[in-house]
Chains A and B, each alone.
Chain A
Amino acid sequence: MKDRVALVASGALLLYVIAMTALVPLGPGLIALEPVEATPLQRFEVVGLGTHFAGQTTQTRVFVGQPGAVWEWRVLEARDNSRLLVEAVWPEKLKSKSLDVFVYHPTDGTLLLENALHVDHLPVDAATAFPPLSQPIPSGDGLGLHFPFQPQIFESIRNLLWHVPMWFTMFLLAGIGFVASIRQLGSNRLLPADGQAEAASRVALFFGLLGLITGSIWARFTWGTWWVDDPQLNGALVTVLVYGGYSVLRASLEDAMLRARLASAYNLFAFVILVILLLILPRFSESLHPGKGGNPGFNAYDLDSTLRLVFYPAVVGWGLLGWVLYRLGLRMDLVTRWMESLDPPLDPGPSTTPNSPLP
């Protein structure tokens, strides 16, 4: 009964996730701040993607600077929906040579482009005090549901609902395998825990592979290559290989008790490797991959309310699917072993019934 409930729940959640992945549009964002050729330090064009600058130009406002030291520029006109012509206003001194751009538009809300402009023509004094704005930068938008715009990532942010939950599920199942292996290792008899460790590690391997594949696809769209030499990616590959080794080890042993003992020892080893390479080491190293080293990373996405609306159900949905597959594998193994142990043994080979799910 519980297995069926889990299956239905997982199916419903994942259907929702698929629907949202396909249908929710990406929100607007800024791509560049381009100087107008004829007047390089006076006039600029703010370039957006998916923006609606053409309407409500009078209520559009543009701010430039660093957080805490921001001043306003004059909006001249909107060339089209994506291009906004602005006139620069310069203070006497700057806090830093690198400036961010904030655009407020009634429909698009507040858009930010970090490190949009690098200026050399003014002196820089880090201790410069800037007067606070007369009113804070307005917020709030007139858009419906949309995914957040992130530079370099753009539309591929949808992968967040697949790649990340798949890895979470892998961790979950590796954890189940770990606990089962501890139980098995602490005993002199063959426990059901051994079968649990086997089924859990198998599904963990499967989700690890899915995580690597979705990650590789994501890398292709954001970084341009299918793989980079990165501590997080290398750690993920090694972890998946180690869990692959677990299956190989089990396959090479005949005696059930020896297999249980060696495999459970190896599983403990594998899990510790997973924790070190994927949960501990990345926090200490520079990485392209979000969430560690210098990147604003995962937390930046998580703040967005629309994403949260789909991400949490996705984690639960994929996790439940992992659990369902684990339970399925476990039950299949038990039944297969029983069939083989009968006298005469029932061969669970290629089945004779037309629709049997057993291979």
Chain B
Amino acid sequence: MSTVKRIAVNVHISVNGKPYAREVEPRMLLVEFLREACDLTGTHVGCDTTYCGACTVLMNGLAVKSCTMFAVQADGSEITTVEGLEKDGKLHPIQQAFGDSYGLQCGYCTPGLMLSAHQLLSESPEPSEREIRKAIAGNTCRCTGYMNVFKAIELAGRNMKRA
């Protein structure tokens, strides 16, 4: 029987603009880092198999599945989670639009959907229906049927453009 040697690595990750320095095991997933080491439980674990997208966060502006990356791989990067969307007590236009359009029911997939929408709208402020479909194809929702999610993303795009 071989003994497992515990290894700890220092990582410095900026989450929602705030620096987090932590000592982590190399095998710790990014989503575990966010939820357990940073106490940011808005990022959810759904399937844990790179399918559902509930764990989607932005790494340097790009949507990634945080269950399919190690925390050490995010060392030195900027992560945005759902907690980082709100600014000064004011909901982000994407959050506001999901509420206004009833773009959620149980809410489990919502943080991931909003961050996928964030990458889309930062690249394409007036997305076509096809672009929206492509952008959220990696986010599974088992309640709403997606129609109100589409409406929310369209509305958020319009409101962000106006702002």
A and B associate in one complex: no
What residues of chain B have their CB less than 8 Å away from a CB belonging to chain A? none
